Structure formats: structure tokens, C-alpha cells
A and B are shown apart, each in its own frame.
Chain A
Amino acid sequence: MTKVLAVGRRTTTALLLVLTVILIANLPIVFFSEDMLASPPRAYMFNLEMFQERNVELNMGLYPERLKSYFSMLAGGTLGKTVEGRLITNDLIKYLPTTYTIVGLAMLISITLGLALGFVGSVFLRHLRGVGPVYMALTTITVSAPEFVLLALLRVFMVKAYSNWGIDFGHLYYPVLGNVKLGDHLVPLISISVVAVAYVARISTGFFDSVAPQDYIRTAKSKGVRPFRIVSGHALKNVFIDILDAIPGVFGLLIASMMVIEHLYGYPGVVGRFIHHAHRFSLDYVTAVALVVTVTYLLLDGVTSAVQGWLDPRRREAPGAGGAV
């Protein structure tokens, strides 16, 4: 009975959060001018006269009407239509896999490589004179490099490599077609993964450092267990449990980076299409993408909390365990 109540409470919370996202995503309607409402969604950005001048006006009366029409559309079983007149659901089915393939791969790379770097950094590099600060400084530098900086560097490198050394990167040079084969994903994947790897490496180094003085590690040391065995057998599991907390956040970080990459490359993904539709004031599309990202985030949060509970009995029994939902 208690479990049923807990599931009911979490479902209610999730529905409330989804509702909040819908309310926020439709809020920009209060800033819409008559021109924007005239024939929505229109290719507004290319209408120069309308674009040059702007007096910010607030029209709160539009908001209830917009919500009413949106919820009646949801009740009709549709998420609306794209600016090209296609069903948004079909658009999501077509473009979501590209985005989530790269984001999924980047998450996998960032967690595994970040954890490995954190382990190496904490156990080996931090104790070497002069190397520890360099390692930490490098991770700070990498975290500070936004994806557009990395993208610029990669592009300049490819241009120079072709003009100076004759190395032709072929379709990697400008993989605008994308989604053809795995190689097409390489440059976007590198561009978004680097920061996430450095981020996970930083936090996992901290987690390894915090685990080191624990009683169970000291006991293992005093019993003469080899250092590698101490880490792999005792520390790694606890660090992994803590790292799981960061996974939903890493997802948010990667989605934001993916928006930039898809937009710059003209890559056929759902968040790049988001910019295309946002430029044309399609609130239906904006809300649909915000909902998809929120639901994915909630699912990731739920799954990571469940895995944490499964791996760590203390978390399972702790009051309020189970993440946001």
C-alpha cells in the first residue's frame, strides 16, 4: 500500500512538472504582436520592415486563449503542425533519433571516459609532484571551452590540414547531410563530448578523493589489499553511485551543446529544428520539444535514482528517495 501511494505521489509530481513546462513554453504568446499573430507560424525573420522595429508590449489576454487551444489540441491527440504543415509527431519521430543517438553516445563516452580520468587523476596523477595541479588546471581549461570554440578550432584545423598537408577529411569537413553513417557523427560527437568528459572527470576526481579517507578504505589498506583492488573493489562502486546523480545534468548540458552543433551544421536533429521553428514563432513546436526534453530528463532521473537505490541500500531506505519523481 505504501509503495502504491509513493508511485501515485511521484506520478502526480511528474504530471505537475509537465504541466509547468507547458505553461512556461506557451508564455511567449503574451509578447506576440499583431503581425506575429496574423498568419502564424510565418517566416517572420525575413520580413525586414517588421523586423527592424520593436516596441515590447504585453498582452496577457492572449495567454488563456492560447492555453485553451493548446490543451484542446492535446486532447485531440496531436502536438500540432510544423511551419511546413507536417504533423509535429512525425517530425519528432524523424529527427529525434539523430539527436538522441549523438547525445546518447556522448553521455556514454563522458561517463566512462570521465570516470576513468577521474580515477587516474585521483589515484595516480594527484600524488605526483607537479602533475596534480596540471591535471586539475587542464580539466578547468577544458570545462571553460564552449562547444562553439571547439568547433571553431576543429574547423580551422581541418582547413589547415587540407591546405598545408593535403589531408582531406571528406564528409567530416562539413557533414551537412548527417545521419548517413557513423563517421558523419564524429565531429559533432567530439565537439559536444569534450566538455562533458572534463566535467565528469572533475566531479569524479572529487568523489574519489572524498572516498579515500573512509573507514572501509582504511580497513582494506590496513589488511594489505593492493591499491588497484581497493579502488576497483571498494571505491569504484560508491563513486559510480554518486556519479549517477550527475547524469541528468550531463544530459541537459549535452542537449544545449547539441542545439548549437545542429544549428551550425544544419544537422538533421530535433533541437536544430527547434531553432528553425523558434525563428518562425511556432509555439507548438517549441512546446513539443520542451516536453520531449523534460520527459527524457524525468525518465533519466527516475532510472538513475532506481539504480542508486538498487546499488546502495542506504539510499533505498532513506526517506524521500527516488529523485524528482
Chain B
Amino acid sequence: MRSLKKANGYALMGGLILASILVVVVFADHLPLRPPLQWHKLLIREDGMVVVPPFKPGNGFVLGSDYMGRDVLSRLIYGARLTLPIALSVALARMVLGVVLGGLAAFLPGWIAGRIKDFTKISTGIPALLFATIFLWVIRPWATGDQVESAFWFALILGLTGWGRTADLIRRRIDTLLGRPFIEAAVAAGANRWRILVKHITPHLSTTIIIGLVLEAAQSLIMLGQLALFGIVAGGYQMFSNSSDRPYIVTYQPEWGTMLMKSVESVWSHPHLFLYVAVAFFITILGFNLLGEGLRRKWEG
């Protein structure tokens, strides 16, 4: 109990939220859920009424169903199996680029370092969403039907367009470390630039990298949600022509972005469909932010 009191509240809450999500997602096959792809044309309610999808919560559908009569709760849980790894991959890609470029900006002398700093600053300022939108829309990785390939392209493009913040974080941290007495001692002992980087700076960067990775996962999730609203989703979809001019979009694989995109169509008639996915995004983002903030307070004060 005492150790629980001493624990960092932010990290504890964030860790609990993320651990709960992880457990539910990993053990989804053992939970009493409807299959995420099973669809229902009609539902006979307990009062004898026959209704068409999307069904409201109840009658075996905890959060209701989508427009094809598929269980929303089940699709949210199974959908996390694609959405969350993509968000983590994006965060990892950004962190790798950030460490390399931030490290170079801090260590390389003169003009090149200055230009890397400028480019980093601009990269932070221009919304990554602008470039990610056009690149992903042109490549359309979801149309290949291969979810792994789709996830790869999302991680690559979002990583390449959003590394500025992490590079800036790493550069600032290295700048701070370079002013510490143990670095002065290493210089006095005759250590060269690269030895200082590998032996003295890198071990101290690990906490910054972990915190950055967690916070960047939250940012990646926000961006995945934003892209989904523009029709850019990792889960994939098909378009069919109907009597009207606009094509009819059908989604198959459960994925949060795909669910968000599809639910926008019925946001007025069935706002709960949009709200459930939006809340799923929000809770997970909150979990990552709380964990990141907690770790920052614990390790960096």
C-alpha cells in the first residue's frame, strides 16, 4: 500500500489504462464477443419488433452494431490489433530519425548542424498532416489489400513527415548533457567526440527516448484519427457504385481509422457510432500521455 502511495499517479493511471487495453486486445479470442466480421441483416428485439442495422446498444450488442449489423465492441477490440501497432511503429520510426538527426545537429560543428537545426524547426512547424495526406493518398497502401504492407507505408510516411519534434527533443537533451561536469571530466581525460557520444551521452538518452516514444505514440494516434477523416485508413475499404453519384463505401477489416471514416457518414443519424470510436482514440491517447507525463516527472523531475 505504501509503495502504491509513493508511485507516480500519472504513470500509474496511464499504465493501468494501457495495460487494460493490452490485456483485452491480446485475450480477445477468449472473451465472449461476437465475431467482428459477422454481420446481421435484421434483428428481432425482445419486444418482438424487427429492426435493421445499425442496431442500438442492447439485445446482445453491448455498444450496438454498425451499418452492416456487426458488433461495434468486438470491432473496436479487434481493430486495436492493427491500429495500435501502427501507432507504435510510427512513434518508433520518428524516434529513430529524431535520434540520428538530433544527434547530428548537436554534434556536428558549423554550417551543417545549423541547417539541420533549421530544417528540424521547419519540420516541426509545417503540419506533418499536409504532406502525409498527399503521400498516403497517392500511394494508397490500403488498396493492396495487404495489412502488413499498409502498416509499413503508414509507419514510413508518418515517420518521415513527423520526426522534427523528436529530433528537437533529442538535440536539446544532448545540449543539456554536454554542459554537465562529467562531460567536462571526459574531455579533460582526453576522450574524443565520438567516444563521448557513445560512452557518456547515449546511456543518459535512454530515459528521454522512452518518454519521447510514449508521447509520440499518442501524437501518432491523433494523426491516424485525423487522416481517417480524410479517407486515409490502414484497414482498407471498397467502393461500390449505386444509383446516386457518390460511391458507397464498404469496410471489412476492423480498424479504428476505418471505423471512424465510415461512422462520419452517419454522424447525424447515429452519432453513437462516431462517438464510440472517438472515445476509443481518446482513452488510448490519454493513456499514452499520462504514462509519458508520469515517466517524465519520475526521471527528469
Q: Identify the A interface with B (CB < 8 A).
A: 13, 16-17, 20-21, 24-25, 27-28, 31-32, 36, 45-46, 48, 51-56, 133, 137, 140-141, 143-146, 148-149, 152-153, 155-156, 159, 248-249, 251-253, 255-256, 259-260, 263-264, 271, 274-275, 278-279, 281, 283, 286, 289-290, 293-294, 297-298, 301, 320, 323-325
Q: Identify the B interface with A (CB < 8 A).
A: 9-10, 114-115, 117-119, 121-122, 124-131, 133-135, 137-141, 143-144, 153, 218, 222, 225-226, 229-231, 238-241, 245-247, 260, 264, 267-268, 271, 274-275, 278-279, 281-282, 285-286, 289-290, 293
Given contacts A56-B141, A140-B286, A301-B121, contact A293 B126 (CB under 8 A): yes
Given contacts A24-B131, A263-B229, A275-B133, contact A324 B122 (CB under 8 A): yes
Q: Which residues of the other chain, B, contact A52 by a CB distance below 8 angstroms?
A: 143, 238-239
Q: Which residues of the other chain, A, contact B275 by a CB distance below 8 angstroms?
A: 152-153, 156
Asked whether, in the complex, the Cβ of A279 is within 8 Å of the Cβ of B137, the reply is: yes
Asked whether, in the complex, the Cβ of A149 is within 8 Å of the Cβ of B279, the reply is: yes
Asked whether, in the complex, the Cβ of B138 is within 8 Å of the Cβ of A25, the reply is: no
Given contacts A28-B138, A146-B281, A251-B125, contact A48 B286 (CB under 8 A): no
- B288 nearest CB across to chain A (Å): 8
Asked whether, in the complex, the Cβ of B127 is within 8 Å of the Cβ of A256, the reply is: yes
Asked whether, in the complex, the Cβ of A144 is within 8 Å of the Cβ of B144, the reply is: no
Which one, A17, A46, A249, contacts B124 given CB within 8 A? A249
Given contacts A21-B126, A251-B125, A324-B121, contact A148 B293 (CB under 8 A): no
Kindly state the separation between the CA atoms of A25 and B231 in the bound complex, as whole angstroms.
20
Q: Which residues of the other chain, A, contact B117 by a CB distance below 8 angstroms?
A: 324
Kindly state the separation between the CA atoms of A47 and B131 in the bound complex, as whole angstroms.
23
CB-CB nearest in chain A for B276: A152
CB-CB nearest in chain B for A258: B127
Given contacts A51-B239, A297-B126, contact A278 B134 (CB under 8 A): yes
- B287 nearest CB across to chain A (Å): 9
Which 5 A-B residue pairs are closest in the complex by CB-CB distance? A54-B143, A256-B127, A297-B125, A144-B286, A28-B138
Kindly state the separation between the CA atoms of A5 and B146 in the bound complex, as whole angstroms.
54
Q: Summarize B's interface: helix, strand, loop or mixed.
A: helix
- B137 nearest CB across to chain A (Å): 5
Asked whether, in the complex, the Cβ of B118 is within 8 Å of the Cβ of A17, the reply is: yes
CB-CB nearest in chain B for A283: B134
- A298 nearest CB across to chain B (Å): 8
Kindly state the separation between the CA atoms of A301 and B118 in the bound complex, as whole angstroms.
11
Asked whether, in the complex, the Cβ of A54 is within 8 Å of the Cβ of B127, the reply is: no
- List 9 interface pairs A-B (beta carbons < 8 Å), by A numbering: A36-B138, A140-B10, A143-B289, A148-B226, A148-B229, A152-B274, A294-B122, A294-B126, A324-B118
Kindly state the separation between the CA atoms of A264 and B90 in the bound complex, as whole angstroms.
25
Asked whether, in the complex, the Cβ of B278 is within 8 Å of the Cβ of A252, the reply is: no
Asked whether, in the complex, the Cβ of A252 is within 8 Å of the Cβ of B127, the reply is: yes
Asked whether, in the complex, the Cβ of B289 is within 8 Å of the Cβ of A144, the reply is: yes
- B279 nearest CB across to chain A (Å): 7
Kindly state the separation between the CA atoms of A253 and B118 in the bound complex, as whole angstroms.
19
CB-CB nearest in chain A for B139: A31
- Which of B125, B290, B293 is most buried by chain A, counting CB atoms within 10 A of its CB? B125
Given contacts A140-B286, A251-B125, contact A290 B247 (CB under 8 A): no
Given contacts A46-B247, A55-B144, A148-B225, contact A290 B118 (CB under 8 A): no
Given contacts A31-B139, A146-B282, contact A290 B129 (CB under 8 A): no
Given contacts A31-B138, A144-B289, contact A293 B153 (CB under 8 A): no
Asked whether, in the complex, the Cβ of B134 is within 8 Å of the Cβ of A286, the reply is: yes
Q: Which residues of the other chain, A, contact B268 by a CB distance below 8 angstroms?
A: 155, 159
Asked whether, in the complex, the Cβ of B285 is within 8 Å of the Cβ of A146, the reply is: yes
CB-CB nearest in chain A for B226: A260
Q: Which residues of the other chain, B, contact A28 by a CB distance below 8 angstroms?
A: 134-135, 138-139
Kindly state the separation between the CA atoms of A164 and B24 in the bound complex, as whole angstroms.
35
- B199 nearest CB across to chain A (Å): 28
Kindly state the separation between the CA atoms of A20 and B246 in the bound complex, as whole angstroms.
37
